[in-house]
């Protein structure tokens, strides 16, 4: 069944004026003009066509773990891939994972198949699609290290299969970051059975010791600079970032590269804190920190 919006078709699985705060790990974000969680490729194509008919922007939210949504919301269509995009299959030395698959499931499945190569993803609250868009990594590994090919939906609704070499990944970035017209659907990974990584439980314990989990956050706010032998967290620590706050947006006392939502933080609070901290580091070290999070 379908209704109309301003003379155009409206699909029943597309909702209107949905607050996005409940779909981000920061618990921050105003309403999306339209929002949907497509359960199939057909619904996803219909949603993309719907946005094109209305001439509005689209954003892919993933698990909302690396994104800051404006307090005013998003005047377009926010898409969060639903349960139909969570397939995962291990065959021999290969794992195929749909974009909506949680990263911890990828690591767990690899372990059951005899490889610890994805253990570094343990504790990262994202999806395979979001992990690839940001080229998620930790403990010296990145998700693209084991990627062989992926499938994405193009702007005309066509499917594209490409290899890792055709895409090109960099530190905490990929060509898909600024391409809302290319939607990642599935990835194929090669299992490295010679990988030497700590157990998932050990990595989870290391994360709990190092990173704050008591309050909502989006993980590391800034990327580590590549032209200096110090991490973003170390630079921020040296300029007294820990405990600094703007409203309810507060830098963790445990890790200086985490900004926590203490209860009622706004996107405006977060952005002001980011600007102040970036300026502090630049004045002290001449280094311009680049955000790892995506600001909408």
Catalytic residue among 65, 115, 220, 252: 220
Q: Tell me whether residue 141 is one of the annotated catalytic residues.
A: no
Q: Tell me whether residue 65 is one of the annotated catalytic residues.
A: no
Catalytic residue among 46, 115, 172, 186: 172
Write the secondary structure of the chain as one string of H (helix), E (strand) and C (coil). CEEEECCEEEECCEEEEEECHHHCCCCCCCEEEEEECCCCHHHHHHHHHHHHHHCCCEEECCCCCCEECCCCCEEEEEECCCHHHCCEEEECCEEEEECCCEHHHHHHHHHHCCCCCCHHHCCCCCEHHHHHHHCCEECCEEHHHHEEEEEEECCCCCEEEEEHHHHCCECCECCCCCCCCCEEEEEEEECCCCCCCCCHHHHHHHHHHHCCCCCCCCCCCECCCCCCCCCHHHHHHHCCCCCCEECCEEECCCCCCCEEECCCCCHHHHHHHHHHHHHHHHHHHCCCCCECCEEC
Q: Tell me whether residue 292 is one of the annotated catalytic residues.
A: yes
Q: Mind telling me the catalytic residues?
A: 172, 220, 292
């Amino acid at each position: 069944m379908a209704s109309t919006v301003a003379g155009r078709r409206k699909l029943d699985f597309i909702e209107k004026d949905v607050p996005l705060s409940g779909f981000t790990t920061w618990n921050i974000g105003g309403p999306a003009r339209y929002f949907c969680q497509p359960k199939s490729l057909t619904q996803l194509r219909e949603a993309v066509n719907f946005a094109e008919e209305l001439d509005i922007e689209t954003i892919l939210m993933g698990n909302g773990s690396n994104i800051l949504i404006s307090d005013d919301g998003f005047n377009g269509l926010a898409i969060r891939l639903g349960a139909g995009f969570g397939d995962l299959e291990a065959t021999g030395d290969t794992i195929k994972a749909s974009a909506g698959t949680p990263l911890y499931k990828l690591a767990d499945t690899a372990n059951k198949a005899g490889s610890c190569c994805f253990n570094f993803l343990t504790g990262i609250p994202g999806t395979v699609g979001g992990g690839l868009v940001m080229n998620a990594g930790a403990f010296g590994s990145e998700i693209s290290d084991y990627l062989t090919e992926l499938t994405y939906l193009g702007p005309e609704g066509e499917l594209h299969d490409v290899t890792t070499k055709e895409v090109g990944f960099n530190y905490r970035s990929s060509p898909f970051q600024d391409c809302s017209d290319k939607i990642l659907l599935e990835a194929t990974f090669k299992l490295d059975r010679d990988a030497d990584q700590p157990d998932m439980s050990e990595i989870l314990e290391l994360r709990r010791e190092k990173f704050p989990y008591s309050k909502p956050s989006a993980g590391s706010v800034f990327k580590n600079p590549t032209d200096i032998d110090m991490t973003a967290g170390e630079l921020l620590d040296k300029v007294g970032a820990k405990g600094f706050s703007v409203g309810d947006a507060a830098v963790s006392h445990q890790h200086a590269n985490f900004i926590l939502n203490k209860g009622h933080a706004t996107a405006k609070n977060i952005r002001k804190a980011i600007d102040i901290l970036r300026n502090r580091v630049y004045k002290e070290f001449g280094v311009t920190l680049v955000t790892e999070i995506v600001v909408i």
